[in-house]
């Protein structure tokens, strides 16, 4: 568990079959699951065995690609997959690309398109890491939220890819906020960074603002599930509070992600559908019931950070700083 | 557990013996513990069987009062108790009052002084509730953090006392943030409000800011562990992030507590000592390990909210709105 082996990928594709690392079992067990097609992939995405916008996109491309050849009618599976989770735009984007290729050119075209998506997203990670590390040069104590590493993308990560590149260039210490309700910071980010030998300290989400105020953090970097045309960002719940605290502390708040997470058709973050998840994720932190079993719960999986709190949006094509509508449109046009 | 019996008090004093409701066991078990004296009270405070600034003050008065008569030298126990936790000023304040009475008038004087403190704090709760409910008249959807009710004070509560009074006057819905690491919102506030029949919804701490931004909250009210002379407030970790979000959403952020929580000798919140607690509180949410067993942890139990984010400070003597140094000094002089 504490081995220093670098995690190469959270999914494996051999040209015809897709296997995924079941992220609900980490950090206790490394369990690989073979998926049977689009419906199976949808189920894995819904229960967060596969998670994070970029990786969801890759799984949503490869998962149905293997089915187009075998299934008599892949469309119902494609539909199910497309609606597995509502917030990350990468999901529909990937399914639509593979489905269009399948209709135009059959199974071979679908597989080629899926592999093209996988390749693009892997290359995007590397480019994001380089752009982000240039932007944050000199920042040593970095706060990140949720998990945006190799478990979240097709490469070394979005925000965590930037952190890895900063660590390759110099000294870095990471503060990981645990990311309730599902604790991806505690479970996944701590595990990935420890494997990489990058110093990481864990804190509860509510502690981050106070630590920023006390001058203990140089910069915040997070991923994104959907970026609206005006630069508003939907990301894991708790992100917005970190952005407010970074602004109050006068430190940069940077969002990193592939352009596949940008939804140019959406005017602002107010129109992003926020997924509400199961109440027991809140009632049972870590598994055991800590409250009354029938207490009412609000459990939005994401929140929206307005563009005016974001120092820069970093994607594989460059940096929008600040992330105005014009700057984002210019990036997309590159 | 879901009975509608109102909880009268979290401690019982029969004139010579102190029993406390062990809050680490809630909401699953209602276990009463009899304390043996100052050292035993210190232990109960350290491990949060007794918690929250006002209740700590009462326990720290009654706990040693029963020992002054019996112990040959109560001073070591008093010292231990005074240093059990560093942040809430009520602890030293209560011990000092009882100890001064003991030195001046012996066991009877110590017991009288301790009972006077208990009576004052109970009366303070009722007055805070009335002042706070006047201030927040019309607010229906209230967010609160941690637990500030009968489990936290000598009466119906500080912030939760205000909420109870609002509920007695009209319709109220409470959003309780769970309050990691020790989940006092999920474990204690949900339990208290459900017993009272006040509608309560639970959310993770990181969700609160987004819900405020979406216009789902009318006002925030919290308690306090120490109020500096300039109006800065130390309270449960996570409070500061809620204050930033309330300001961004344009809704009131109110702090409620007895004047025993005001430390007039302290110029600002920057000088408040913030207790750092055990790493396993973070590593084991709800009990089970969710991360690597040896990951480094930052676990500050409190944070500081600067006075400029606070709409008003409500205490038994009235309201400081805004809580400037002059307004707080005027309250203390009443």
Closest A-chain CA to B173: A296
Phi, then psi, of B127 in degrees rounded to 5: -70, -40
Q: Is the pLDDT of residue A104 over 70?
A: yes
Task: Judge contact between B303 and B238, C-beta under 8 A.
Answer: yes
The better pLDDT of the pair B2, A241 is held by: A241
pLDDT of residue A3: 34
Closest B-chain CA to A200: B296
The CA distance from B313 to the nearest CA of chain A, in Å, is 20
- Interface subset of A 269-288, CB within 8 angstroms of B: 274, 282-288
Closest B-chain CA to A238: B206
The CA distance from A210 to the nearest CA of chain B, in Å, is 5
pLDDT of residue B16: 86
pLDDT of residue A148: 96
Task: Judge contact between B236 and B277, C-beta under 8 A.
Answer: no
Q: Is the pLDDT of residue A124 over 80?
A: yes
Is there a contact between A206 and B206 if contact means CB atoms under 8 Å apart?
yes
The CA distance from A31 to the nearest CA of chain B, in Å, is 16
pLDDT of residue A8: 63
Task: Take residue A166 and report the two structure tokens written for it.
Answer: 């900063």
Buried b (16+ CB within 10 A) or exposed e, A5-27: eebebbbebeeeebebbbbeebb
Task: Judge contact between A132 and A254, C-beta under 8 A.
Answer: yes
Peptide bond into A27 cis (omega under 30): yes
- Give the CATH number of domain A5-125: 1.20.120.420
Task: Judge contact between A288 and B288, C-beta under 8 A.
Answer: yes
Question: For this structure, is A225 an active site residue?
Answer: yes
Confidence of residue A247 (pLDDT cuts 50, 70, 90): very high
Task: Take residue A312 and report the two structure tokens written for it.
Answer: 């820069």
Residues A248-281 have pLDDT tens digits of 999 999 999 999 999 999 999 999 999 999 999 9
Q: Is the pLDDT of residue A106 over 50?
A: yes
Angle between helix axes A38-46 and A53-70 (nearest 10 degrees) is 160
pLDDT of residue B100: 94
Task: Judge contact between A101 and A129, C-beta under 8 A.
Answer: no
- Among candidate residues A40, A196, A225, A263, the one labeled active-site is A225
Of A164, A124, A161, A130, the residue nearest A258 (C-alpha): A124
- Among candidate residues B22, B225, B232, B263, the one labeled active-site is B225
Q: For residues B81 and B243, what is the distance between their CA atoms, to the nearest angstrom?
A: 32
pLDDT of residue B1: 32
Residues A201-225 have pLDDT tens digits of 999 999 999 999 999 999 999 999 9
pLDDT of residue A271: 95
A244 vs B: CB within 8 A? yes
Is there a contact between B191 and A240 if contact means CB atoms under 8 Å apart?
no
Residues A143-154 have pLDDT tens digits of 999 999 999 998
For the residues A307-312, what does the mean pLDDT come to? 98
Residue A201: strand, helix, or coil: strand
Is there a contact between A191 and B284 if contact means CB atoms under 8 Å apart?
no
Q: What percent of chain A has pLDDT over 70?
A: 97
Q: For residues B330 and B309, what is the distance between their CA atoms, to the nearest angstrom?
A: 20
Helix (H) / strand (E) element for A20: namely strand A18-21
Nearest to A286 among B209, B290, B297 (CB): B290
pLDDT of residue B8: 63
Q: Is the pLDDT of residue A6 over 70?
A: no
Q: For residues B180 and B301, what is the distance between their CA atoms, to the nearest angstrom?
A: 9
- Give the CATH number of domain A128-333: 3.40.50.10470
pLDDT of residue A5: 42
Q: Is the pLDDT of residue A70 over 80?
A: no
Per-residue pLDDT of chain B (334 residues; tens, 9 = 90+): 333 344 568 999 998 899 999 999 999 999 999 998 899 999 999 999 999 999 999 999 999 888 887 777 888 888 999 999 999 899 999 999 999 999 999 999 999 999 999 999 999 999 999 999 999 999 999 999 999 999 999 888 999 999 999 999 999 999 999 999 999 999 999 999 999 999 999 999 999 999 999 999 999 999 999 999 999 999 999 999 999 999 999 999 999 999 999 999 999 999 999 999 999 999 999 889 999 999 999 999 999 999 999 999 999 999 999 999 999 999 999 8
Residues of B with Cβ-Cβ distance to A213 under 8 angstroms: 240, 303-304
Nearest to A180 among B199, B205, B240 (CB): B205
* Sequence ranges of the domains in chain A: 5-125, 128-333
Q: For residues B305 and B223, what is the distance between their CA atoms, to the nearest angstrom?
A: 12
Nearest to B203 among A190, A245, A297 (CB): A297
CA dist B208 to A270, A302, B138, B177, B246, Å? 17, 11, 21, 7, 9
Confidence of residue A16 (pLDDT cuts 50, 70, 90): confident
Of A295, A254, A30, the residue nearest A134 (C-alpha): A254
Would residue B138 be called left, alpha or beta, if left means φ above 0 and alpha means ψ between -120 and 50 degrees?
left
Q: Is the pLDDT of residue A1 over 50?
A: no
Q: For residues A246 and A39, what is the distance between their CA atoms, to the nearest angstrom?
A: 41
pLDDT of residue A67: 82
B266 vs A: CB within 8 A? no
The CA distance from A34 to the nearest CA of chain B, in Å, is 25
């Amino acid at each position: 568990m504490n081995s220093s082996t670098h995690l190469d990928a959270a999914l494996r594709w051999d040209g015809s079959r897709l296997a995924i690392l079941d992220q609900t079992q980490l950090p206790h067990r490394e369990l690989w699951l073979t998926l049977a097609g689009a419906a199976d992939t949808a189920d894995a995405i819904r229960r967060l065995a596969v998670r994070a916008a970029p990786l969801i996109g890759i799984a949503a491309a490869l998962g149905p690609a293997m089915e187009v050849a075998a299934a008599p009618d892949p469309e119902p599976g494609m539909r199910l997959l497309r609606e597995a989770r509502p917030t990350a735009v990468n999901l529909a984007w990937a399914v639509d690309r593979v489905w269009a290729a399948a209709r135009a050119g059959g199974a071979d075209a679908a597989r080629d398109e899926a592999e093209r998506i996988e390749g693009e997203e892997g290359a995007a990670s590397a480019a994001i890491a380089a752009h982000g590390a240039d932007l944050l040069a000199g920042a040593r104590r970095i706060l990140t939220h949720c998990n945006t590493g190799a478990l979240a993308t097709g490469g070394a990560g979005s925000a965590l890819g930037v952190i890895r590149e900063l660590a390759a260039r110099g000294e870095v210490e990471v503060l990981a906020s645990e990311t309730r309700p599902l604790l991806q910071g505690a479970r996944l980010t701590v595990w990935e960074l420890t494997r990489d030998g990058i110093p990481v300290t864990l804190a509860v989400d509510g502690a981050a603002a106070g630590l920023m105020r006390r001058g203990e953090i140089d910069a915040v970097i997070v991923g994104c599930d959907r970026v609206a045309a005006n630069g508003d960002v939907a990301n894991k719940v708790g992100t917005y509070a970190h952005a407010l605290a970074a602004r109050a502390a006068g430190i940069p708040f940077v969002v990193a992600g592939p352009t596949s997470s940008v939804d140019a058709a959406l005017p602002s973050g107010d129109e992003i559908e926020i997924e509400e998840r199961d109440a027991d994720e809140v009632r049972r932190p870590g598994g055991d019931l800590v409250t009354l079993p029938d207490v009412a719960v609000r459990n939005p999986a994401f929140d929206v950070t307005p563009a005016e709190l974001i120092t820069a949006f970093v994607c594989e094509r460059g940096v929008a700083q600040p992330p105005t509508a014009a700057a984002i449109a210019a990036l997309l046009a590159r």
